[in-house]
Each structure stands twice: as C-alpha cells, then as structure tokens.
Structure 1
Amino acid sequence: MMKRCLLAAAFIALVAAHGAMAGPEDFHPDGLIKGYGKFADVPAAKPLPADTRFKVAMDVVDGGVTGEVNSIFAIAAGFINLQHANGIPPEQVDIALVVHGPAHRDLLNDKAYGGDNPNAELLEILQAYNVKVLYCGQNAVKNDVAAKDLLPGVEMTHSATTTHVLLQQQGYSLRP
C-alpha cells in the first residue's frame, strides 16, 4: 500500500512539474485544410528539416458509413495540416489514398451514393493538395461500380494490392 501511495505521489508531482496532461481538446482543425484533419501541436518535438519530403500511402478499407466522413480521409488532411504547421509545405507531402472494401461507398458521386456524399468536399480539397485517390478495380467489379459512379479525380486501378506494391516501388511508406 505504501508503495502505491509513493508511486501516486510521484506521478502527481511529475504532472504538476510538467503541466496538465494533454487530451482530446488539444487537437484542433486549424491549418491549410480548415474544418478537417485535426492535429495537436507538439512544442517539444525536434524541428523537421526544411527539405523534408513525405510520400505516404494510406490504406482505406473501413468506411462507407452513410452520412459520415471517412476517418482516413480526415487523417490525410490532418497529416497535411500537421506538416504545414511544422514548416513543410504541401508541395513536399505526397499522399496516395488506396481505397477498397466497404470504403468504396465514400468515393461515389451523389447519384450512386443515393444522396449527398459527405466525403465529396474533403476529397476535392485533398486533390487540390495533390492527394491521389486510387480505387481498387477488383472491388469495383465485385460491387458493380463503374467509372461514371465515382467522384471526379478518383482513379481506378487494377487492384489495391497492385497499387500498394507500385507505390512502395516509388518510395511511398505505408500508413495502414
């Protein structure tokens, strides 16, 4: 019991010495992509070299929930916002969204979606920052999705696996 009390006291002293612990309220959607892509400032982090270049492939399989923005699309926006806040311009951030599985619904135009697709605005913004939106052709065939059903700028590929292999050969790192 005494040991637990000492550990608790040490933890409280540590928190008091370093300020309150961070929480969800420390994440904000400020940045280039307003309203999307929350991130937290980390003042203690070592600065990134100005010539840093990112090439990130994000696997997008979950999603397709009616009325919801895909969380991986929001993470892509947050990654751009975070790097920009740390001195890396968006021209040095290459992101490829590799979409398959239930997430395919998030790529559908309003007609194919069956109403307003809440992902359309964010995907248009991301594409303005040169984010590639790559859709698995195998998934398209399985779900009877034609190119005419997709939002503008979505590129149909042979398969998600093929796309990931090709992106890795081009120097992209996978963010699962």
Structure 2
Amino acid sequence: MMRRLPMAVLLLALPGMAAAQGRTAFHAGPVFTDFAPIATIRSDVTVPAGTRFKVAFDVSDAAAPGDLSRAIETAARFINQHVDAGVLLSAISVAVVVHGAAPDDLLQSAAYADRHAGKANGSANAIAQMIGKGVVFHLCGQSAASRGITDNELLPGVKMSISAMSSHALLQRSGYTLNPF
C-alpha cells in the first residue's frame, strides 16, 4: 500500500532537491582545478573582445578554523568563470584585500596552528596557487597589528599595507573596481 506524504512535507523538500540538482552543473575551473568550481553559462551579457578586468575583492570574514575562506575562493571563482568564458588569464588582474576578522587566513602553518588549536590553515594552498597565477593579497596593517600578526608569520607573497583603506584607494587609482560580493 502506497502512503501519501502531506503536501507540506513535499514543499519543504523541494528547495533541497532543487539545490542538489543545481550543484551538478558545477565543474572544476580551467585555472584553479581543485577549488573554486564554476558552472559554464551561455550568457546574454557578452564580454567584449579585448576586455581587461582589474578587480579588487574585500575580505573581512574569517574562515572557520581549518576551512577554505569562501571569500577568497570567490576571487578564484571570478578568474575561473571568466577564463572559462574565453577571457585570457593575462587580461585578468585580481587583488584581495584582507582585514577585520580574516587576517589569520593569511598565516603560515605554525602561526595559524598556534592561534587555532593546532588546526591547519584551510586557505593556505588556495592562496599559494592564486599568488602563483598573479593574484595579489594585501593585508591591512591595522588589522594585523590589532591581532599581533607580524610580517614573518605571513604566507609567502602576502603584502602588508598601511591599511585596507589605503590598499583600496591605491588599487582604485590603478584602475581596479571593487567587487561587491
């Protein structure tokens, strides 16, 4: 005998089922293959040939200890999406400005583990790969000072700035736009 589920139960289950189906559209990107998955999109908004992207991402929320920062991954996803759509990697410049609660995500292993009960920095590998592809990471010196972070604790390639505000101002002067996500 077949039992019928109440309509309320079915309505509650639909969003989860739709989300699970939607995730199957995502795949590894062409630049960062082990993080920052993307969906290939047939877009009605075309990127004109010769477009050069110069985009700054503002990161102030820390990742959960041991996890990859979703905000840092968003910057990598931006690169993957656009290269997947035909934009040359050489035409994409990305800067990530880190401040607030997020500076620990830029720490080397020992410094991170000391601050997070021995856990590994889940963002370190992604940051190294991103720096290897030309992404610039600026750490707000004011946030670093407030958290007791020194230059020698930073991942290789991370640049200390006077502040996040100064980094954003200088990046804007250099033609970077601020990504609102």
- Provide the residue aligned with 2:24 in structure 1: 25
What are the equivalent positions in structure 2 for 1:32-43 lying under 5 Å apart?
32-43=31-42
Aligned mates of 1:168, 1:123 — CA distance in 2:
22
Give 1:28 shift: 2.2
For the residue of structure 2 that corresponds to 1:43, the secondary structure is coil
Aligned mates of 1:44, 1:106 — CA distance in 2:
33
Match of 2:168 among 154, 164, 168: 164
Aligned mates of 1:31, 1:72 — CA distance in 2:
19
Give 1:107 shift: 0.4
Q: Does 1:146 align with 2:176?
A: no
Report the AA paired with residue 167 of structure 2. T
For the residue of structure 1 that corresponds to 2:24, the secondary structure is helix
Q: What TM-score do you get using the length of structure 1 for normalisation?
A: 0.83
Identity of aligned residues (%): 36
Q: What TM-score do you get using the length of structure 2 for normalisation?
A: 0.81
Give 1:152 shift: 0.4
Give 1:46 shift: 4.2
- Provide the residue aligned with 1:107 in structure 2: 106
Give 1:104 shift: 0.6
Report the AA paired with residue 150 of structure 1. L
Q: Does 1:70 align with 2:69?
A: yes
Aligned mates of 1:100, 1:83 — CA distance in 2:
26
- Provide the residue aligned with 2:9 in structure 1: none
Count of paired positions: 157
Q: Runs of 4+ in structure 1 displaced over 4 angstroms? A: none
For the residue of structure 2 that corresponds to 1:122, the secondary structure is helix
- Provide the residue aligned with 2:138 in structure 1: 134
Give 1:49 shift: 2.5
- Provide the residue aligned with 1:121 in structure 2: 125
Report the AA paired with residue 98 of structure 2. V
Segments of 5+ residues of structure 2 without an aligned counterpart are 1-17, 114-118
RMSD between aligned alpha carbons? 1.8
- Provide the residue aligned with 2:14 in structure 1: none
Segments of 5+ residues of structure 1 without an aligned counterpart are 1-19
Give 1:33 shift: 0.8
Could you tell me whether the CA contact under 8 Å between 2:56 and 2:177 is conserved in 1? yes
Report the AA paired with residue 132 of structure 1. V
1:18-51 Cα deviation digits (max 9, x unpaired): xx99823322223221021122222143442231
- Provide the residue aligned with 1:81 in structure 2: 80
Aligned mates of 2:45, 2:64 — CA distance in 1:
38
